[in-house]
Amino acid sequence: MKFGVIVFPGSNCDHDAYHVIGQVAHQPVTFLWHESHDLENCDVIVVPGGFAYGDYLRTGAIAKFSPVMEAVKAFADGGGLVLGICNGFQILCEAGLLPGALMRNAGLKYVCKFVHIRVENTDTPFTAACRAGEVLRIPIGHMEGNYFCDAATHAQLVRERRIVFRYVTPSGEPTADANPNGSLDNIAGVCSAGRNVLGMMPHPERASEAQLGGRDGFHIFESLVGALTRA
The residues carrying an active-site annotation are 86, 203, 205
pLDDT the model gives residue 20: 98
| Predicted confidence (pLDDT) at residue 117 exceeds the cutoff of 80 | yes
| Predicted confidence (pLDDT) at residue 63 exceeds the cutoff of 90 | yes
Q: List, in order of start, the domains of the chain with CATH numbers.
A: 3-230 (3.40.50.880)
Average pLDDT rounded to a whole number, residues 152-160: 98
Average pLDDT rounded to a whole number, residues 133-161: 98
Give the model confidence (pLDDT) of 216-226 as tens digits: 999 999 999 99
Give the model confidence (pLDDT) of 5-23 as tens digits: 999 999 999 999 999 999 9
Q: pTM, whole model, 2 decimals?
A: 0.97
Q: How far apart are CA 105 and CA 179, in angstroms?
A: 10
58 pLDDT band, cuts 50/70/90, is confident
pLDDT the model gives residue 224: 98
| Alpha-carbon distances of 43 from 27, 67, 78, 110, 115, rounded to whole Å | 11, 18, 11, 33, 29
Taking a C-beta distance cutoff of 8 angstroms, is the pair 186, 174 a contact? Answer: yes
Average pLDDT rounded to a whole number, residues 75-101: 98
